[in-house]
């Protein structure tokens, strides 16, 4: 039987998979381009809620293209 640890382990460092999970705008679609621009401005300002919202809208706009 192994003896349980009596000290904490090192923290787990998680990466941000932003580039993997973000949808790309459809070329030539003004709505997609506007959502992507809004997402970029929100990211620059640290507004991660708006970044997430834009990603959801891009995935659904307009119902998957």
pTM: 0.66
Enter the tokens of residue 48.
Answer: 């991660």
pLDDT band at 8 (very low <50, low <70, confident <90, very high): confident
pLDDT of residue 9 exceeding 90: no
Angle between helices 30-45 and 48-60 (to 10 degrees): 160
- Compute the radius of gyration of the chain from its Cα atoms: 19
Q: Is the pLDDT of residue 25 over 70?
A: yes
CA atoms within 13 A on the CB side of 36: 13
Predicted pLDDT of residue 52 = 93
Instruction: Give residue-wise pLDDT tens across range 42-57.
Output: 999 999 999 999 999 9
**Any residues with CB less than 8 A from the CB of 12 and at least 6 apart, and which?**
none
């Amino acid at each position: 039987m192994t003896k349980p640890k009596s000290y904490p382990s090192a923290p787990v460092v998680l990466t941000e998979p932003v580039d993997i999970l973000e949808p790309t705008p459809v070329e030539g679609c003004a709505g997609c381009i506007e959502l992507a621009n809004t997402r970029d401005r929100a990211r620059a300002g640290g507004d991660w809620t708006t970044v997430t919202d834009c990603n959801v809208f891009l995935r659904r706009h307009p119902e998957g293209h």
